[in-house]
Amino acid sequence: MKYITYLLASISLIFSMQVSAQLPEQPHLVVRAEASESVLPNMVTVNLTIENISPILNKARKNVEQRSKQLLKEIRRFNLSSKDIEAGQIRIQPEYEWQKNKRVQVGTRVSRSMSFIVRDLSVYPDLLDAITSVSVDSLAQVTFGHSDEDKLQAKALDQAIINAKSKAQRMAQQLGQRISRAYSIEEIGQIRPMHQTMAKGMMADSAGGSTADYQPGEISFSSEVRIVFYLQ
């Protein structure tokens, strides 16, 4: 126990020294602030996998190839750009099960991953129905985004810096002081729109027409900064 205590104390001391080394010896003020930009998405990326497991390799491969071909045919009806359609190579791997405490190969798993970028959200519900019609087996990962993502993220960063400076000025004023130039600045957090995962059952429900009223809502781009200001 003493060894562990000494070890933790040493780690804590080293960490404290590292933190102190990042701060100036002169009077200073450390602030953290964040900001976010929220907009309605104007594009969506859908990632999915078609797969089949069978004791007969050719049967599983034929199943995946046929459904892949059917899905691509359905997707092209929506006039997506060729650069927005990505169909990966077919993957083949053995499928095992535990039987009587023994790992036994029961067949072969054949799969193919695909990705589609939809830049016209008005067709998204119908495209989702088209995907459902092909009986996609795995989960579908959906990401709503914006064509000006980099600009929005940069705007959030700019606002976070402005917020940090305003916060530092307010804190220093309460102490009867003023902030001077910045000693250091770093972005310590950045949040972009998250993935939304939908199970096959949810996708099947959409085939009933519920997607017609689908509203994705706003997406947010956030940034958090840490700034060390000199005090004067």
pLDDT in tens, 45-100: 999 999 999 999 999 999 999 999 999 999 999 999 999 999 989 999 999 889 88
Q: Give tens-digit pLDDT for 9-30.
A: 444 444 444 444 478 999 999 9
d(CA 36, CA 153): 8
> Which domains are present in the chain?
25-41+147-194+218-232 (3.30.110.170), 43-145 (3.30.70.2970)
Q: Are the C-beta atoms of 189 and 226 separated by less than 8 Å?
A: no
Has residue 5 got a pLDDT over 70? Answer: no
pLDDT band per the 50, 70, 90 thresholds, residue 206: very low
Query: Distance of CA 157 to CAs 34, 93, 161, 186, Å?
Result: 8, 45, 6, 10
Between these two residues, 171 and 12, which has the higher pLDDT value?
Answer: 171
Which structure tokens are listed for 65? 């190839």
What is the average pLDDT value for the chain, to the nearest integer? 84
Range of weakest confidence among 12-21, 33-42, 181-190: 12-21
Which pLDDT band holds residue 202 (cuts at 50, 70, 90)? very low
| Residue 228: predicted pLDDT | 97
